[in-house]
């Protein structure tokens, strides 16, 4: 038994899609979330900057005596994970392996599309992870740099006409390749799911890693006997590096419950 919380972090709001799945699949666990909205988007910055941010975010979460950390961000999983894995001795879970495995299980015509931030796409991590599982699969990738700022801007942007036009611009070439499965290789993108599905058409299955990552977290907890005592009940803590007033309504919308206890962090101090 281990009553300490699980730490989860992202460049902003997107990691809350992973948080929600973990809270659903592990209802007794306490969770601490950090979203670095003040410095988002990460995916258009340099690899060095993303590694630095990954380390700072973990350092902050470690001040909460966490038992495990989930990198709920593809960009940091692609560039920071290998780096931080070596320098920390608690379990660190990344999101790419789970998303790749889910896409391979889903495709029927062996054509998979992957969308993500420029830094995730240029790293080629999904291509490697998917082809390691099945090297006959054809992969078509596209970076969608405007999607993260649109999500961070607020809910009214997630399904409006402008976002639809941008999605059409990015996704039409992918649609024309005939992929039957599309990996949402950024944890912000499930929040644009309806818009993305509208462009790709109902015949294309959208894969988000959130569900699979939560399964991995659950397995690690159970295999290592790290469960929290169910009698204690879970505690949830939310932190953002930007305005709490902006974070709380969006966090509440994503989680489907009122969040009014978020705190602001000066992340540059870590």
Residue 148 engages ligand DGL in binding (rule: CB under 6 A): yes
- Which sequence positions are flagged as catalytic? 73, 186
By CB under 6 A, residue 195 contacts ligand DGL: no
Q: Taking the complex as a whole, how short is the minimal distance between the CB of residue 37 and ligand DGL, in angstroms?
A: 9
Using CB under 6 A as the binding rule, whether residue 41 contacts ligand DGL is answered as yes
- Output 145 or 249, the one with its CB closest to ligand DGL: 145
Asked if 212 touches ligand DGL (CB under 6 A), the answer is no
Residues 6+ apart with CB under 8 A from 257: none
The residue within the footprint of ligand DGL, chosen from 30, 54, 75, 163 (CB under 6 A), is 75
Separation CA 123–CA 17 (nearest Å) = 23
166, two tokens: 């941008």
30, 54, 107, 117: which one binds ligand DGL (CB under 6 A): 117
**Choice between 8 and 228, CB closer to ligand DGL:** 8
CA distances from 194 to 56, 81, 191 (A): 33, 30, 8
Alpha helices (H) along the chain: 16-25, 47-62, 74-79, 81-87, 96-106, 118-123, 125-133, 147-153, 161-176, 193-200, 210-223, 244-255
Q: Is residue 10 close enough to count as binding ligand DGL by CB under 6 A?
A: yes
Among 37-45, 54-62, 160-168, 260-268, the segment contacting ligand DGL (CB under 6 A): 37-45
Q: Does 182 bind ligand DGL (CB under 6 A)?
A: no
Using CA atoms, how far residue 165 sits from 181, 195, 242, 266, in Å, is: 21, 9, 28, 36
- Are 111 and 135 in contact, with CB atoms under 8 Å apart? no
37 binds ligand DGL, rule: CB under 6 A: no
Q: In terms of C-beta density within 10 A (0-12 exposed, 13-18 middle, 19 or more buried), how is residue 86 classed? A: exposed
Q: Which of 5, 7, 14, 99: binder of ligand DGL (CB under 6 A)?
A: 14
Least distance (Å) between residue 153 CB and ligand DGL: 13
Total number of residues that touch ligand DGL (CB under 6 A): 17
> Which residues contact ligand DGL by CB under 6 A?
10-12, 14, 40-43, 73-75, 117, 120, 148, 186-188
């Amino acid at each position: 038994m281990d009553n300490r919380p699980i730490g989860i972090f992202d460049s902003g709001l997107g990691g809350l899609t992973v948080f929600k799945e973990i809270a659903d699949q592990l209802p007794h666990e306490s969770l601490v979330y950090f979203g670095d909205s003040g410095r988002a988007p990460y995916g258009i910055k340099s690899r060095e900057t993303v590694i630095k941010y990954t380390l700072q975010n973990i350092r902050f979460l470690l001040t909460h005596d966490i038992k495990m950390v989930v990198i709920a961000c593809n960009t940091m999983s692609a560039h920071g994970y290998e780096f931080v894995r070596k320098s920390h001795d608690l379990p660190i879970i990344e999101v790419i392996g789970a998303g790749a495995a889910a896409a391979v299980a889903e495709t029927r015509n062996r054509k998979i599309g992957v969308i993500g931030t420029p830094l995730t796409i240029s790293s080629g991590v999904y291509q490697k992870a998917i082809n390691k599982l099945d090297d006959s699969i054809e992969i078509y990738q596209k970076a969608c740099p405007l999607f993260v700022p649109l999500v961070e801007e607020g809910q009214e942007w997630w399904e409006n006409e402008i976002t639809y036009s941008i999605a059409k611009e990015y996704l039409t070439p992918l649609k024309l390749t005939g992929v039957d499965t599309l990996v949402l290789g950024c944890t912000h993108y499930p929040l644009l799911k309806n818009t993305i599905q509208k462009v790709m058409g109902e015949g294309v299955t959208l894969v988000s890693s959130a569900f699979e990552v939560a399964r991995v977290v659950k397995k690690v907890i159970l295999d290592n006997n790290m469960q929290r005592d169910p009698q204690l009940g879970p505690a949830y803590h939310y932190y953002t590096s930007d305005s709490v007033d902006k974070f709380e309504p969006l966090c509440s919308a994503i989680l489907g419950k009122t969040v009014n206890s978020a705190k602001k962090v000066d992340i540059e101090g870590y």
